[in-house]
Amino acid sequence: MAVVPRPLRIAMIGDRGIPARYSGFSTLVEEVSTRFVANHGIDVTVYCRSHYFEEHPEQFRGVRLVYLRAPGGKSFESLLHSASAIAHASVRRFDLAFVVDPGNGPLTLPIVLRRMPLVIHTDGLGWQRRKWSPLQQRYYRWSEWVSARLATGLVCDSVAMQEYYLRTYEAASAFIPYGGVAGEPADDAAPARYGLESGRYHLVVARLEPENNVDLIIREYKASKARYPLVYVGGARYESDYSRRIFGETDGRVTCLGPVYESAILNGLYKHCRTYLHGHEVGGTNPSLLRAMAAGAACVPIDVVFHREALGEEGPYFGREPGSLARIIEELEADGGKADRLGQHALSRADRFYRWDAVAAAYADLFSGIVEARRHATGPARIAAPDVYHPERFFASGANPADD
């Protein structure tokens, strides 16, 4: 009788957990893990922070869930939960651990000592976040170096981040971005829920971190002659002077809605905005920009290399100089045809280049290749830079990127 090989067993560690509500990493973990189970025959366990979820089911769409406490407040919650999850996973029979955020790299020693293959997602330039103290910034910079040394393989979500790790740490990596489509189909009635009209509001969706530049966007909008309202969606789990200042901007022109967790409503807000204004600048391919692109929004990002990689050179992009964004807002408010063309361009790029079916297939190829190399070697093989992400194969088939 032929022996049926057992499924690959993967642990996913470092984010808040699924179902996704809180971050781009959560969306990545949900979209990839559920596709692993449904389409690639891979057994997946996701580690979740217990206090983010009212209910604690054992599975989500076939993915096993493990809930662990996450004490430590805004400074240490992530690290303490990751440390607990890594300790838990290191004594179980996983074939590979996938850890998101290089800040968790120094914590992965138990996995390395068990000779379990380890893949770390590099995220963006997290050490540049202005919320961190100088000591925390040095830790995150050091953790990049540690991750580059300990990991069996690295994943970068942008070509620019690939080049950064190669240039800074002489560490090769696999390029696998995020997909654009996220959550339920757009609720076309979403704008009306908030007293908004389709095509007659400008939208910002971001966590309240200084490097996401929500304050800059609001300042530029208020300096413009725009008549359509500016709508901010998002918030911060822990209140700060910055978050209080942003929510204090609400007036007759600016509306702060706070977080919107219902994916159909959020996608409806993306779909029907006149412009989507995107200020994230610390690195990597940003999931909220890709989500806006997949909704067909006219995207106007701040001018950094990562956003040009996602949207191409067509623009428009805004800078920090006074009046840069204000002029673009006025132009696109006055020219609906141009805004529509920008939205179609964004949608086309999302469909062609940022597909969850291709993302899941790339991770499946990467993980299975690493595990296979481990089984035929005395220790975990360092994976150089495998060419695993091929969205053209799925785009050419005419498949829907949300369906894989």
pLDDT at 84 over 70: yes
Nearest 5 degrees, angle CA 302-CA 306-CA 312? 85
DSSP assignment of 189-210, as one string?
A: THHHHTT--TTS-EEEE--S-G
| pLDDT bucket at 83, cuts 50 / 70 / 90 | very high
How large is the average pLDDT for residues 23-39? 93
Which pLDDT does position 384 carry in this prediction? 61
Strands (E), 132-238: 153-156, 174-175, 202-205, 230-233
How large is the average pLDDT for residues 380-389? 72
pLDDT at 2 over 60: no
Using one digit for the tens of pLDDT, what is the confidence trace for 163-172? 999 999 999 9
| pLDDT bucket at 313, cuts 50 / 70 / 90 | confident
Residues 97, 98, 104, 110: what is their CA dihedral angle, to the nearest 10 degrees? Answer: 10
Nearest 5 degrees, angle CA 239-CA 242-CA 243? 45
Range with the largest mean pLDDT of 68-77, 242-251, 279-288, 301-310: 301-310
| CA–CA distances in Å: residue 76 to residues 71, 90, 104, 110, 212 | 7, 21, 11, 19, 21
pLDDT at 3 over 50: no
% of the chain exceeding 70 in pLDDT: 91
Measured in Å, how far apart are the chain's first and last C-alpha atoms?
32
How large is the average pLDDT for residues 377-384? 58
Tokens of 261: 């967790």
Count CB atoms within 10 A of the CB of residue 43: 17
Distance of CA 374 to the CA centre of its chain: 29
| pLDDT bucket at 360, cuts 50 / 70 / 90 | very high
Domains of the chain listed by start with CATH number = 9-179+355-395 (3.40.50.2000), 190-353 (3.40.50.2000)
| Under 8 Å between Cβ of 110 and 83 | no
Please give the mean pLDDT across all residues of the chain: 91
How large is the average pLDDT for residues 270-282? 95
Using one digit for the tens of pLDDT, what is the confidence trace for 191-225? 999 999 999 999 999 988 888 999 999 999 999 99
CA dist 299 and 279 (Å) reads: 11
Residue type, 258: G
Of 110, 109, 114, whose CA–CA distance to 93 is shortest?
114
Which pLDDT does position 22 carry in this prediction? 64
pLDDT at 238 over 80: no
Task: Look at 128 and 158; give whichever has higher pLDDT.
Answer: 158
